[in-house]
Amino acid sequence: MSSQDVQRPVCIIGLGLIGGSLLRDLAATKHPVFGYNHSTSGARIAVKQGFDVTDDLPAILRRAEETNALIVIATPMDAVASVLDAIREHAPSCGFTDVVSVKAEIRQLVIERDMHPRYVGGHPMAGTSKSGWENSQTGLFHRAAWVITYDYAAECDARGERIPLEWENVFADVVRMTQMVHAEAVPVRVANHDAAVARISHLPHVLAETLAVVGDNGGILAQSLAAGSFKDGTRVAGTRPDLVRQMCETNATALVTVLDEALELLKDARDSLATEEPSIAELADAGYRARTRIEARSGARKESVSPVKISSRPVLRLHPGAPNWVAQLRQTESLGGRIEIF
Amino acid sequence: MSSQDVQRPVCIIGLGLIGGSLLRDLAATKHPVFGYNHSTSGARIAVKQGFDVTDDLPAILRRAEETNALIVIATPMDAVASVLDAIREHAPSCGFTDVVSVKAEIRQLVIERDMHPRYVGGHPMAGTSKSGWENSQTGLFHRAAWVITYDYAAECDARGERIPLEWENVFADVVRMTQMVHAEAVPVRVANHDAAVARISHLPHVLAETLAVVGDNGGILAQSLAAGSFKDGTRVAGTRPDLVRQMCETNATALVTVLDEALELLKDARDSLATEEPSIAELADAGYRARTRIEARSGARKESVSPVKISSRPVLRLHPGAPNWVAQLRQTESLGGRIEIF
C-alpha cells in the first residue's frame, strides 16, 4: 500500500453499475476490497468471477469493523437508511462514504443518526443507461469528476472548531480511492452539488423522457425516421424508471427551479415560432454558445501536441488538516477544480 | 451501369456534409458524378482531392442538361429558390431532387415555378453536428432512412390521371441513388414528413439548446460536473445556429404543435414534483416505455444469429408505373417501411 493508496481495505455495499465498477477497479489494483450484493444469485456470480463478495450484510459489516475498512454505500437511495442503521449496529467505528446522486437527503439521514463525524459524501459523474453488476466494468471512472462533499469540515471551520482527525482521514482516503480509479476529485458542498446536478444530470433525464414520449406520439412513421439527433436526445430515457424517480424526486426542489428555467425558454421559443415571421434565433444562438462554452470547460481532455491528455479542471494539491485547507476547498469548488492529496 | 444504378449521371449542387458525402459515395462506385460548390476555395480543395467539382453554377447546370443528369439540390434552404431559378434557366429538362430537411416549403417553390412534373423530394435521415465539405465522409448514409416524397404521383392518382413517365423515371432513379449509397428509401408524403421530423429531428434541436442554456446558467461548477447524460442531451446544440433556424423556422407550424405537447408534459412533471410528495412517476414510466418501443422499431439493426444485419423496416419491392403502385407507396408509408426498385 503506497501513500497514494487508500490506507485501509474498502468495503462496498451494493454492487450495481457504480459499486460493481468500483469493486472491479480496486480489485484490479490488488487493493483489499470486498463487497455485499443483496441478490444471492448476483453475489454468487461475482464470487465465481473471483471477487470477494457475499450476500450477508451483517457479516460483511462486522468484517469491515474488524479490518477498519472504508465503507462505500452504493445502493439505490431507498435502501440507504437501512444500510446506515446496519452500519451503526455492525460497524460503529468505520468511516464511510456513498455514491448516490443526491446528497442533501443522505446527509440528513446521516445527521439524524449522529454519524456525520465519520461521513464524507461522494458522487461519481459517470454511468451509462444500463444498471446492475452485469453492466459494471473497469475503467468507468477514468477522468470522470467524482464529487466529494465537505460540509462537515466547512461547518467546523465556520465555528472556529478543529476538524476531528478521524474525519480528515476519511476525507483523505475517499480522495485517494477516487485517484486509484483515475477519477478527478471535485470538492463541492451538498447544496451546490444538488443544484448543479439538477441542471446537468436530472434535467437531461426529464427532457429525454419528454422527447421520447413526443416522438413516440408520432407513431410508426416517426419511429422509423428517428435518427441520430433523436437517439442521442433520448438515450438516458432508457434508464430504469425507478432509478430516475429516486434521483429526481429526492432532488425535487432544485429540479423544479431548473424546470422553470427550461419551461420559460421553451415557451418563449414556441411563441416566437408561432408568429407571422417564425423565429428561433434567440434560443438557437444561446444554445450554441452555451454548448461551445461547456464543451471547453467540462473536463474534456484538451487537445495538446503531447500524447498525454490533460484535464481542463484546475488542480489543487492539498494536505487535509494543513492551515487554511478548508478555504482551499472552497476556492477549488468555486472553480469547478479538482484536488489531489499528497 | 447496372439496372440497379441510377440510369444517368448525377449532378450535386452544394457540397456540404450531405452533398459532399453523397458525391464521395457515388464517386467511390465509379458512377459518373459531378458537383458544384459555391465556395471557390472549397471547390479547389475538392478538385485537388480528385473530384469533378466546380464553382461555376451555370456551367455545371448546362453540363447536367447536356448529359441528362439527375440534379440533387443539397444547399441550405435559403439558397434553394435561386438554385431552382438557375435549373429552370440552364437545365430545363433535367429531373431533380433535394436533400433539405423540410419538404413543404421546397415543394411550394417548385410548384410556383411549374417544375413539379420533374421533381421528387428527398431527405436522408443522417448527419452529424458538423457541417461543410471538410466533414463529409463516405458511408454516412449506410442503413439510414432516406425519405422520398411522392405527392405529385398521389395527386395524379387521386385525379385518375396517368403519372407522366418522366416523373416515374426520376422517382426510380432517386430510389436507385439511395440504394447505391446503402440508404433505405422510405416513401412519405410532404405533410407527413414535415410532421414527423418536427418530432424526431427539430424538437431534439430545441430541447438540446434549452438544456445547454440551463446547464450553462449553473456556471463553472455545473460545467465542470457535466458528464454523459448532459453531453448526449446537448450534442446537437453544437449544430450551426443558422442551419437550425432554417430547419425550425421553415417547419414552424408542425414544430409549434409538438412543442405544445412537450410543454404540457414538462409542465405536468414540474407540478407533480412541486407537491408535498414529489413524483415524476408518470413521465419516467412513459418515457422509458416510449424509448424502448422506438429502439425496437426505428430501423436499428436487429440482433440475429447471422452476421448479416437485417433492417427492422419492412421492405416492399416495386416497379414504378405498375398497377396500384401508388397505393403500395401509401401502404409502405403507413408502416414506416422501405422500398426497393427492381
The pLDDT tens digits for B293-326 are: 888 775 544 444 555 566 788 899 999 989 899 9
The mean pLDDT of chain B is 93
Q: Which residues contact A205 (CB under 8 A, 6 or more apart)?
A: A236, A237, A239, A244, A247, A248, B229, B284
pLDDT of residue A303: 47
By the 8 A CB rule, do A242 and A235 touch?
no
**pLDDT category of residue B2 using cuts at 50, 70 and 90:** confident
Tell if the CB–CB gap between B293 and A238 is shorter than 8 Å. no
For residue A206, what are the CA distances in angstroms to A262, A295, B198, B231, B286? 11, 21, 19, 15, 11
H or E segment at A186?
strand A184-187
To the nearest whole Å, the CA of B65 is away from the closest chain A CA by: 33
Tell if the CB–CB gap between A241 and B291 is shorter than 8 Å. no
Chain B residues touching A259 at Cβ < 8 A: 266, 269-270, 273
pLDDT of residue A42: 87
- Sheet containing B145-148, strands listed edge to edge, beginning at the edge strand earlier in sequence: B122-124, B145-148, B184-187, B338-341, B315-318
Tell me whether 0.85 is exceeded by the ipTM: yes
**Looking at this protein, which amino acid is placed at residue B335?**
L
Beta bridge partners of B185: B146, B339
Report the pLDDT averaged over residues B195-206: 96
Q: Is B199 on the interface with A (CB under 8 A)?
A: yes
Q: Is B249 on the interface with A (CB under 8 A)?
A: yes
Chain A residues touching B240 at Cβ < 8 A: 288
pTM, to two decimals = 0.89
Count of CB pairs separated by less than 8 Å, A with B: 384
Mutate to test the interface with A, among B146, B189, B194, B225 (most CBs of A within 10 A): B225
More confident residue, B51 or A5: B51
Tell if the CB–CB gap between B234 and A273 is shorter than 8 Å. no
For residue A220, what are the CA distances in angstroms to B66, B334, B336? 42, 7, 6
How many Å apart are CA A192 and CA A254, to the nearest integer? 10
Tell if the CB–CB gap between B211 and A201 is shorter than 8 Å. no
Please tell me the total number of residues recorded for chain A in this structure. Answer: 342
Angle at CA B174, nearest 5°, toward B169 and B180?
Answer: 125
pLDDT of residue A145: 95
Neighbours of A330 (CB within 10 A): 14
Report the pLDDT averaged over residues B189-203: 97
Q: What is the mean pLDDT of each run of 10 residues along chain A (342 residues)?
A: 87 96 97 95 93 97 98 95 98 97 95 97 87 92 96 96 95 97 97 96 97 95 91 93 94 97 98 97 97 74 52 89 93 94 82
pLDDT at B243 over 80: yes
A265: nearest CA partner in chain B: B210
pLDDT at B26 over 50: yes
Chain B residues touching A217 at Cβ < 8 A: 199, 261
Q: Is A339 on the interface with B (CB under 8 A)?
A: no
pLDDT at B4 over 50: yes
Helix (H, G, I), strand (E, B) or coil at A237: helix
Mutate to test the interface with A, among B210, B235, B263 (most CBs of A within 10 A): B210
**Looking at this protein, which amino acid is placed at residue B259?**
L
Tell if the CB–CB gap between A263 and B244 is shorter than 8 Å. no
Q: Which residues contact B34 (CB under 8 A, 6 or more apart)?
A: B9, B10, B11, B12, B52, B53, B54, B60, B63, B69
Closest partner residue to B199 (CB to CB) among A222, A263, A285 is A222
To the nearest whole Å, the CA of A92 is away from the closest chain B CA by: 33
pLDDT of residue A304: 46
A262: nearest CA partner in chain B: B210
